[in-house]
Amino acid sequence: MRMLLNEIFIPQTIKLNLEGTTKEAAFIELVDKMAEAHPECDGAALLAAIQERERKMSTGYTSGIAIPHAFCGGIEDMIGAIGVSQRGIDYGTPDDKPVHVVFMLAMGEHARENHLHILNQILRLAQSDALMMVRNAINAQVAYNILTGFQ
């Protein structure tokens, strides 16, 4: 069964005020949110997997978004976190523009078929007005409601 964005990104894993200005700092903040909301997630292992994936190839895209993602043991299907940076993060995107919204994904072995579907949903969201609505949301619940309505 295909997952929806609001099943992966929950209010507890949406951070609308990323404090760090580097992708490394953003990774740490978002992994902490995911590990706090999902005790089955080993934060240290996930951070290492995200960093390893990023070393292979940047997960920064155009439109001011990045989608760091990695497979991680202990996770059944897929979980995620969203971080918003109003200042922007120097991420090494193809258009050399800062990233303002980071969609982090952690996937278990059962997520292989959902992986591309979710990436496609995120990219569609990034090309719509919904991205700016998430970026300007006043709290995590509002951002979550935008994701729910985007389906």
Choose among 2, 126, 149, 1: nearest CA to 66: 126
Alpha-helical runs (H) found in 16-82:
23-37, 43-56
Residues 38 and 8: their CA atoms lie apart, in Å, by: 11
Structure confidence at residue 98 (pLDDT): 94
E strand or H helix at 135: helix 129-135
pLDDT digits (tens, 9 = 90+) for 82-121: 999 999 999 988 888 999 999 999 998 778 778 888 999 9
For residue range 131-142, what is the model confidence (pLDDT) as tens digits?
999 999 999 999
Name the β-bridge partners of 101: 65, 84
pLDDT single digits (tens) 15-60: 999 999 999 999 999 999 999 999 988 999 999 999 999 999 999 9
Residues 102 and 83 sit within 8 Å (Cβ to Cβ): yes
Q: 5-150: which CATH number, 3.40.930.10, 3.30.70.3270, 3.10.450.50, 3.90.1170.50?
A: 3.40.930.10
